[in-house]
Chains A and B, each alone.
Chain A
Amino acid sequence: MTGLDKNGRERIERLRTGAVDPVVCYDTMYYAFWKEWERLEREHPGLADEEKYAASYRAAFCQVPVEIGAEERIVGRFSRPLGGEEAGDWARIRETVAHPRLAIVGQDSHMAPDFALLLSKGSDGIASDIRARLESERNEEKRSFYTLCLSVLDTMAAFSDRYGDTAAAMASECSDPERKRELAEIARICHKVPRHPAQSFHEAIQAAHFLCLCLSADPFRCFSMQQFQLGRIDRWLYPYYKADKDAGLLTDAEAQLLIDCLAIQINNRVPHGLSCGYMVGGRLADGTPVANELTVMGMQAVDDIRLVYPSVGYCCTADHPKELLRMACEILSHGRSHPAIFNDDIIADGLRYWGVPATECRDYIHSTCVEITPIAASNVWVASPYTNLPGLLLGLLDREWESFDALLEAYLAALDESIERNARQFTEGRKLRRDKGMTPLLSCFVNNCLARGRDIEKGGAKYNWITPSFVGAANLVDSLFAIKVLIFDEKKLTFGQLKAALEGDFAGCEALRAEIVSRIPKYGNDIEEVDALFGRITDFIIASCERVNASGIMELGFSEAKLIPSVFCWVVHERFGRQTGATPDGRRAGFPLGDGSGPCQGREMCGPTASILSSTKWEHKKLIGGVAVNMKFSKSAFTAESCTKTAALIETFLARGGFEIQINVTDRDILLAAQKNPDAYRDLVVRIGGYSDYFVCLSPEMQAEVLERTEHTI
């Protein structure tokens, strides 16, 4: 139930329509920066990189277009592609100037910067602090870094001044008195923040958005799209909300409107196919639950704007008001894909396990989907890399193993070796970025770069984890179990026969494939032996990372340079699936791997309770790199009567140590997909009262009936 009033609802409707298929393009920034860089290199060859950076950054932000859209209340976006000649010139400079200068390896963004610092001090206040450091700093490198930081902070503020000037000009030409007023206010705010401290709710939101926008337009990361999260909006923003409300300066309707505008702008600065948002809920460092009006408004924004972003995480605790989880369920029942539910206590435990002190372990962000990083202190490389777990098994099937244990040992050894190899590779990547990278603006907002006098790329941040992610665990476990049963227990098959069947994508082996699919127990069905195997794999991955951490492989003079594992996949389960041949779990060549850490598609035959039991038999908390559990529910699970039950199910998942759960509600698209590919939807059940049947078992006539009735029957 939205807090927007009628006008707000209508405006948000119009603003969101414009953001459904946005153009997100930072090329104007990149081009202007590198063109100036090229000119400086040519005309002033002795100039240090920091000086070139400062000058090019300034030149670029003076030139790029100012974009203020109709009816926008929170402003700042990059949507203009380059025109013909400039586009050609950028293509040239990109290849010949930018590419050679940059280290195009590794990850970036996937974090939340220090909004509290920006809002409390303003960029001028931060600059004052830096000047104080400069007074006593002798080290040339640090002085150079500080000087660059001063420049980019001022450049950001000057860019906001251009927005202020443009808004003022628009105001003077505006004939609608209401909009005129709004534009004048936007002008005032853009001149005030981010340069000066924020003193109102609207100012705070504008400052935070503007910082994220400028961070996104990072010329040294022009080969990858930036994803900066808005952190905990029910924390850094709350004091401004409270003060304005208490002073009678802000209504809840206006507050929701501004939050919705902030959320819409996320869609205008991050292209589709990625992920970006914020988190709400959780606890403060002293354990106090965070559950306030902005917790609610942050979730409501998802339902108000109905766009791809924000990816909202609701951090649930056992002593949160139950209405918050119910609210999340209700929003999901409308067909939204967020909020995702996170287990605050488990995650805090996991962070402590990996060395984050108690004072910081509640202040984390999901760095796009489920990767957990400490806010305002991270230079974490998430998903570095994605590892294809079942693919690794295929390489071991070309000999007759004497026992299942021998095969499993060999597999784990290969996995261990790949983990170590990847850790080395990405550490080398870090070194390359250390030598060549520069991200001064971000460095101002990530601890402890300013205190250390070091750019984030050079190890200024406190946390420099690398968090590899392991994809297809369920396929691996299902495959291993099939091998155990067919080859070792029942002795029906040899490795040679299995390999031949897989290489032929089961052609001529339909009975074998059917048997594997129908008769061999699968992960996700509360079967002890299979679930134990899953836990064995995840525990091994954790132990392997710990071995690497103890080995010194990742040493490069950065603090907290640990390897921390994850089991989520983003969209890589599809990519890996395309690259992977048929697997012993009955999966056909080219078919996606299982997503997240849940059962494979169509294999969750005993329903969500069994699936949750399977999911929570292995330890989640150490997988701070992220654990994703995706579950599908029918709409019947979200009626007024059943919503409480579904919420209770989620609470049980959390109580049993579940890390995160993401819910998708079965809709017409899923049913259509099930008609086209029944094998991937064998577990899709139609339930009406005491009746239940598998959708894929229904006659085509009945399937068509169900398709027309998704609200009733599914």
Chain B
Amino acid sequence: MKGTVFNIQRFSIQDGPGIRTTVFMKGCPLRCLWCHNPESGRIASELFYDPGKCIGCGRCVPACTRRGHAITDGIHTLDRSGCTGCGECAEVCPASALELCGREWEAADVIAEVLRDKPFYGDTGGMTLSGGEPMLQVDFTLELLRLGKEAGLHICMETCGYADPDAYRAVSPYVDLFLYDYKETDPIRHKEYTGVSNERIRGNLRMLDELGAKSILRCPIIPTLNDRADHFEGIAAMAESLANVQEIHIEPYHPLGKSKAERLGKEYALESLGFPEKEEVARWIESVRAHTSVPVRQS
């Protein structure tokens, strides 16, 4: 059973309890304006190009059947319009200035990779499925979960919540902890910011909670977009309504995704937003805390 993965990150300490290995799956049904992993949106493989690493050797030029690469006066240029993400140019680039993001992995090979760090997991660590959206490749995800459990791994899943409820029912028995995104309470704004509305997302969260699934609410806060009292109250209200929610994590916006978008030749929506100040973040956390007894902290 194969799936498209764009990163397997060892020593993940912000993706669930303990020391974990996080499997980032490519492809996501949402298009959040603030996405810091723009390489995760499309399921197909994509080309990263870092001009800072290019040494102008020109080996990419003949490798490309679509004439995407050219060297003019020693300077390399890239025309992405015909790019199919075949990765031939990345294969031959000696400097790794060209890298193909996303490749197919056999599920068993992913688990083998995750198990390499088993000496570090202890009782609390393990595997986290993330992305992108793991539920977009639900068969692959189910296979990873099955094999992961067979291998005795503690498993977390990071999810945006936008998938078929039956699919969530199918994965729930294997997942020890959901890291569930809660991005915007107002459905209209939710659609404006992420490309989809939030009814299904909220419904799936409640359904999972009723099944007994433990969750942590992951709440990205983006200045000028969702840093509003009604959303903070909405986060708190959602948490209060869930019997098995463990914590609320506030994730302050950061602009570093812009750099990745540039290397992917993509537009980045939030051009002028910077890091929020520490004091601002503290106020957000207090705003949520004021309305719920569920522990709130910065992610």
| A, B bound | yes
A46 at the interface (CB under 8 A from B): no
Report the separation of the CA atoms of residues A645 and B120 in the bound assembly, to the nearest whole angstrom.
9
Q: Which of A515, A608, A699, A701 contacts B11 (CB 8 A)?
A: A608
A608 to B, closest residue via Cβ: B11
A655 to B, closest residue via Cβ: B119
A511 touches B18 (CB 8 A): no
Q: Which of B37, B158, B218, B256 contacts A702 (CB 8 A)?
A: B256
B13 touches A645 (CB 8 A): yes
B66 smallest CB distance to A (angstroms):
23
Q: Provide the residues of chain B in CB contact with A429, threshold 8 Å.
A: none
A697 touches B120 (CB 8 A): no
| Contact A709/B275 with A511-B94, A607-B11 known, Cβ cut-off 8 Å | yes
A706 touches B95 (CB 8 A): no
A514 touches B94 (CB 8 A): yes
Residues of chain A in range 675-690 having any CB-CB distance to chain B below 8 Å: 678, 686-690
Q: Provide the residues of chain A in CB contact with B120, threshold 8 Å.
A: 609, 612, 648-649, 652
| Contact A648/B117 with A688-B254, A690-B14, A705-B274 known, Cβ cut-off 8 Å | no
Q: Which of B7, B122, B252, B260 contacts A648 (CB 8 A)?
A: B122
B259 at the interface (CB under 8 A from A): yes
Report the separation of the CA atoms of residues A440 and B131 in the bound assembly, to the nearest whole angstrom.
69
Q: Which of A518, A645, A712 contacts B95 (CB 8 A)?
A: A518
| Contact A652/B275 with A688-B254, A693-B260, A702-B259 known, Cβ cut-off 8 Å | no
Report the separation of the CA atoms of residues A186 and B117 in the bound assembly, to the nearest whole angstrom.
56
Report the separation of the CA atoms of residues A511 and B71 in the bound assembly, to the nearest whole angstrom.
15
A519 at the interface (CB under 8 A from B): yes
Q: Which of B50, B257, B278 contacts A712 (CB 8 A)?
A: B278
A510 at the interface (CB under 8 A from B): yes
| Contact A656/B13 with A511-B59, A518-B95, A691-B254 known, Cβ cut-off 8 Å | no
Residues of chain B in range 25-69 having any CB-CB distance to chain A below 8 Å: 36-37, 50, 52-53, 55, 57, 59
Report the separation of the CA atoms of residues A652 and B260 in the bound assembly, to the nearest whole angstrom.
34
Q: Provide the residues of chain A in CB contact with B119, threshold 8 Å.
A: 613, 652, 655-656
Report the separation of the CA atoms of residues A165 and B9 in the bound assembly, to the nearest whole angstrom.
66
Q: Provide the residues of chain B in CB contact with A608, threshold 8 Å.
A: 11
B19 touches A645 (CB 8 A): yes
A689 touches B251 (CB 8 A): yes
Chain B 222-257 against A: per-residue CB contact (8 Å), 1 yes, 0 no? Answer: 000000000000000000000000000001101111
A637 touches B13 (CB 8 A): yes
Residues of chain A in range 592-619 having any CB-CB distance to chain B below 8 Å: 606-610, 612-613
Report the separation of the CA atoms of residues A609 and B21 in the bound assembly, to the nearest whole angstrom.
10
Q: Which of B10, B24, B50, B299 contacts A606 (CB 8 A)?
A: B10
Q: Provide the residues of chain B in CB contact with A691, threshold 8 Å.
A: 36-37, 254, 256-257
B158 touches A705 (CB 8 A): no
B19 to A, closest residue via Cβ: A645
B254 touches A512 (CB 8 A): no
A511 touches B262 (CB 8 A): no
B130 at the interface (CB under 8 A from A): yes
A705 smallest CB distance to B (angstroms):
6
Q: Provide the residues of chain A in CB contact with B184, threshold 8 Å.
A: none
A268 at the interface (CB under 8 A from B): no
B206 at the interface (CB under 8 A from A): no
| Contact A705/B275 with A518-B96, A692-B9 known, Cβ cut-off 8 Å | yes
Q: Which of A649, A655, A713 contacts B19 (CB 8 A)?
A: A649
A413 at the interface (CB under 8 A from B): no
A368 at the interface (CB under 8 A from B): no
Q: Provide the residues of chain A in CB contact with B50, threshold 8 Å.
A: 697
Report the separation of the CA atoms of residues A698 and B53 in the bound assembly, to the nearest whole angstrom.
11
Q: Provide the residues of chain B in CB contact with A606, threshold 8 Å.
A: 10
Interface residues on B, range: 35 or more
B38 smallest CB distance to A (angstroms):
10
Report the separation of the CA atoms of residues A698 and B11 in the bound assembly, to the nearest whole angstrom.
21
Q: Provide the residues of chain B in CB contact with A526, threshold 8 Å.
A: 116
Q: Provide the residues of chain A in CB contact with B117, threshold 8 Å.
A: 609-610, 613
Q: Which of B57, B257, B259 contacts A511 (CB 8 A)?
A: B57
Q: Provide the residues of chain A in CB contact with B59, threshold 8 Å.
A: 511
Report the separation of the CA atoms of residues A610 and B11 in the bound assembly, to the nearest whole angstrom.
9
Residues of chain B in range 121-146 having any CB-CB distance to chain A below 8 Å: 122, 125, 130
Report the separation of the CA atoms of residues A641 and B218 in the bound assembly, to the nearest whole angstrom.
16
Residues of chain A in range 637-654 having any CB-CB distance to chain B below 8 Å: 637, 641-642, 645-646, 648-649, 652
Q: Provide the residues of chain A in CB contact with B13, threshold 8 Å.
A: 636-637, 642, 645-646
Q: Provide the residues of chain A in CB contact with B18, threshold 8 Å.
A: 645, 648
B262 touches A699 (CB 8 A): yes
Q: Provide the residues of chain A in CB contact with B297, threshold 8 Å.
A: 641
A518 touches B36 (CB 8 A): no
Q: Provide the residues of chain A in CB contact with B275, threshold 8 Å.
A: 705, 708-709, 712-713
B172 at the interface (CB under 8 A from A): no
Q: Which of B10, B96, B218 contacts A610 (CB 8 A)?
A: B10
Report the separation of the CA atoms of residues A503 and B218 in the bound assembly, to the nearest whole angstrom.
54
Q: Provide the residues of chain B in CB contact with A512, threshold 8 Å.
A: 94
Q: Provide the residues of chain B in CB contact with A702, threshold 8 Å.
A: 255-256, 258-259
Q: Provide the residues of chain A in CB contact with B116, threshold 8 Å.
A: 526, 610, 613
B185 at the interface (CB under 8 A from A): no
Q: Provide the residues of chain A in CB contact with B11, threshold 8 Å.
A: 607-609, 649
B39 smallest CB distance to A (angstroms):
10
Report the separation of the CA atoms of residues A165 and B158 in the bound assembly, to the nearest whole angstrom.
72
B299 to A, closest residue via Cβ: A689
B220 to A, closest residue via Cβ: A689
Q: Provide the residues of chain B in CB contact with A641, threshold 8 Å.
A: 297
Report the separation of the CA atoms of residues A652 and B118 in the bound assembly, to the nearest whole angstrom.
10
B263 at the interface (CB under 8 A from A): yes
B274 touches A690 (CB 8 A): no
B22 at the interface (CB under 8 A from A): yes
B122 smallest CB distance to A (angstroms):
6
A174 smallest CB distance to B (angstroms):
47
B22 touches A510 (CB 8 A): no
B260 touches A518 (CB 8 A): no
Residues of chain A in range 495-521 having any CB-CB distance to chain B below 8 Å: 510-512, 514-515, 517-519
A514 touches B55 (CB 8 A): yes
Q: Provide the residues of chain A in CB contact with B95, threshold 8 Å.
A: 510-511, 514-515, 517-518
Q: Provide the residues of chain A in CB contact with B218, threshold 8 Å.
A: 689
| Contact A693/B94 with A613-B116, A709-B275 known, Cβ cut-off 8 Å | no
Report the separation of the CA atoms of residues A518 and B59 in the bound assembly, to the nearest whole angstrom.
15
A510 touches B19 (CB 8 A): no
Q: Provide the residues of chain B in CB contact with A709, threshold 8 Å.
A: 275
Q: Could you pull out 22 A-B pairs where Cβ atoms are within 8 angstroms?
A: A511-B59, A514-B96, A518-B96, A519-B96, A607-B9, A609-B11, A610-B116, A610-B117, A613-B119, A642-B14, A645-B125, A648-B18, A649-B19, A652-B119, A689-B218, A690-B37, A691-B37, A705-B255, A705-B256, A712-B252, A712-B278, A713-B254
Instruction: Identify 10 new A-B residue pairs, CB closer than 8 A, beyond the known A609-B10, A690-B37, A702-B259.
Output: A512-B94, A518-B94, A518-B96, A636-B14, A645-B13, A652-B120, A686-B256, A692-B9, A697-B52, A713-B256
Chain B interfacial positions (CB closer than 8 Å to A): 7, 9-11, 13-15, 18-19, 22, 24, 36-37, 50, 52-53, 55, 57, 59, 94-96, 116-117, 119-120, 122, 125, 130, 158, 218, 251-252, 254-260, 262-263, 274-275, 278, 297, 299
Q: Pick the 5 closest A-B CB pairs, nearest first.
A: A514-B95, A515-B94, A691-B36, A518-B96, A514-B94
